[in-house]
Amino acid sequence: MARLIESLATTEPLAELFSDKSVLQALLDFEVALARAEERVGIVPHGAADRIAEAGRADGFDVAALFRDMLRAGTPAIPLVKALTERVRAIDPEVAGYVHWGATSQDAADTALVLLLKRAQPILAGGISRLEHALRRLSEEHKNTVMLGRTLMQSALPVTFGLKAAGWLGAIHRSRTRLDSSFAGTVILQFGGASGTLASLGERGSAVALALAKELGLDYPEAPWHSHRDRLANLLCDCGVLTGSLGKIARDISLLMQNEVAEVAEAGGHGRGGSSTMPHKRNPIGSVLTLAAACRVPGEVAAFLMAMVQEHERGAGGWQAEWPIVASVIQSTGLAVASMAEVAEGLSVDTVRMRANIDATHGVVFAERAMMLLGPKLGRDIAHKLLEEATRKSVAQGKHLSEVLAEMPEITSNIDPSTLRDLEAPEQYLGSAETFREALFSSANEKSEKER
């Protein structure tokens, strides 16, 4: 269950994944799998693993007591192993001594975290797939929908909403590719014993480790990685980049939803997007939640990178800092993904308003087009000066740029009337917008096909 203080920072599936019961069960799963691996190799007696598995269910453990004892021990594993050992002793006293045989505390803690990350990956991937599908639809449906481009928050040359959505799609798909790779590199076993050599298991250490990895469905690394946190760091950095890209989409949408712009709107209803005091409001809640996540994650990623500097074979303070950081980053990323998937799926696009906002500029955004027509004939400097004068008159007199230009002999002697009439047609000044949109769209589709 999610805590109220985390209600704007996670989703229900991820809150459940990182709940006390789920984390406890991941720790217990490591201990049970270790017993099964060692039984297979012949280190613990036959049947011992079943007795440990019988005791290794999260139900019945005193979580509050474990919390207090873990804080005093400085590691989750020591109190957990003690409690598990007592539960096994109640079932079979002879087996109790084989709990956690040959492992160290960090083996249990790291592998439990990896097991949680393995379960988190499909949750995030499912949300990203939803988002990509919705962005593809938006891009295709609006490939011919013209809208103002905006640079430095000011009106600029027209673009298409299809191109904008394809740009969002491209960024998300690139992040997905990186995230899939970093997840694959992270879900690996941690098992090294006291100093990372498995000396307590003698010549059978590698055999146990291989059996343990197979038991847990994890990859087997070249060696234990107790103080080498680069794989986890890569994952969190990729989460940071993904969340930043999601935040960029959320920023765009929230700006396009402003009443003065009103070109898109998130889906409302069912308690979504209202105001406690202003009934008229339709707030960009999905974008807001995503922007909040994009505010949190960079600092958390930085904190993890700082914790990477760990001493010798086992760090003091570094890996102990990681659990809450990793949990928060994954949950924030998952919330941002889920929020933007919901936004994209329900986004309404006001094509009429988009065109009206172009018209409201009175054509001054097409000054560059006029400049490109006049430049070869009059020279760039003269053409630029004339267009500056024309745009000032357009703004001051509230007249369209083409009307002002039609009154200037220097212009009409170099641009024919039909060209002037079409000067402010946005469809005729989109350049390579559709070429770029198709390239982004195709690239994401091709990579998706290869991944499938």
- List pLDDT tens digits, range 173-226: 999 999 999 999 999 999 999 999 999 999 999 999 999 999 999 999 999 999
- What's the per-residue H, E or C state across 26-95? HHHHHHHHHHHHHHHHCCCCCCHHHHHHHHCCCCCCCHHHHHHHHHHHCCCHHHHHHHHHHHHHHHCHHH
Residue 193: inside a domain = no
Task: Give the pLDDT band (50/70/90) at residue 268.
Answer: confident
Supply 124's token pair.
Answer: 């995030």
Q: What is the DSSP letter of 152?
A: T
| Whether residues 332 and 377 fall in one domain | no
The number of distinct structural domains making up the chain is: 3
Summary mean pLDDT of the chain: 94
Please check whether residue 110 is in contact with residue 129, taking contact to mean a CB–CB distance below 8 angstroms.
no
Residue 416: which residues within 8 A CB-CB, separation 6 or more? none
| Whether residues 252 and 314 fall in one domain | yes
Supply 16's token pair.
Answer: 């459940």
| Whether residues 79 and 148 fall in one domain | no
| Whether residues 144 and 173 fall in one domain | yes
Residue-number span of the structural domain to which 87 is assigned:
10-103+200-219
List, for residues 308-362, the tens digit of each pLDDT value.
999 999 999 999 999 999 999 999 999 999 999 999 999 999 999 999 999 999 9
Residue 1: inside a domain = no
**CATH number of the structural domain spanning residue 59:** 1.10.275.10
| Whether residues 307 and 448 fall in one domain | yes
| Whether residues 263 and 386 fall in one domain | no
| Whether residues 14 and 53 fall in one domain | yes
Residue 85: inside a domain = yes
Residue 5: inside a domain = no
Burial class of residue 71 (count of CB atoms within 10 Å of its CB; 0-12, 13-18, 19+): exposed
| Whether residues 121 and 52 fall in one domain | no
* Catalytic residue numbers, as ranges: 275, 314
